[in-house]
């Protein structure tokens, strides 16, 4: 629990120091993922330039449904997002990798969390792609998803 709180404090301090810089480089995004689980996420993104961004804080809630067990997960991650040059009218490819901490609610269990996404972004706002979520608790837990999101 101490590691979890320390990670949240570091991310919030990093986000507040970025706020002192140019606000035009900070964006918010909301996304939905559907696949082996249903997930809802929000994130703060700081753009270094047109090709590289930092996912300052990515918070996701996921409901994992299958025939054996249904449980809820939450994760707090941070990571990098890379963009390709435009290859069409307002079209870019992107990839993102986020690392952090997450857990399940019932039964409560916390673990290392990793999230990987590859996809396409249209007109700087709408994006969609394939997502792979990993959480290491009581063995590896993988989820394959189709993600769609909107950057504000």
Contact 39, 61 (CB under 8 A): yes
3-class DSSP state of 133: strand
Prediction pTM value: 0.77
CATH 3.90.1150.10: does it fit domain 2-151?
Answer: no
Instruction: Read off the pLDDT of residues 111-123 as tens digits, 9 standing for 90 and up.
Output: 888 999 999 999 8
Taking the C-alpha atoms of residue 37 and residue 80, their distance in angstroms, rounded to an integer, is 23
Instruction: Read off the pLDDT of residues 62-106 as tens digits, 9 standing for 90 and up.
Output: 887 765 666 788 899 999 999 999 888 889 999 999 999 988 776
Contact 114, 125 (CB under 8 A): no
Instruction: Return the HEC string of 73-99.
Output: EEEEEEEEEEECCCCCCCEEEEEEEEE
Any idea which of 56-65, 73-82, 131-140 has the lowest mean pLDDT? 131-140
Taking the C-alpha atoms of residue 13 and residue 85, their distance in angstroms, rounded to an integer, is 31
């Amino acid at each position: 629990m101490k590691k979890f709180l320390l990670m949240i404090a570091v991310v919030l301090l990093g986000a507040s120091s970025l706020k002192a810089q140019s606000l035009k480089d900070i964006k918010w995004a909301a996304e939905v993922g559907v696949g082996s689980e249903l997930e809802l996420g929000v994130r703060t993104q700081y753009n270094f330039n047109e090709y590289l961004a930092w996912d300052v804080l990515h918070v996701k809630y996921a409901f994992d449904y299958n025939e054996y067990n249904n449980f809820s997960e939450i994760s707090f991650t941070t990571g990098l997002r890379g963009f390709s040059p435009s290859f069409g009218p307002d079209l870019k490819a992107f990839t993102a990798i986020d690392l952090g901490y997450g857990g399940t609610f019932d039964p409560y269990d916390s673990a290392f969390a990793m999230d990987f996404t590859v996809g396409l972004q249209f007109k700087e706002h709408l994006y969609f792609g394939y997502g792979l979520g990993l959480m290491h608790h009581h063995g590896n837990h993988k989820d394959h998803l189709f993600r769609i999101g909107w950057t504000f």
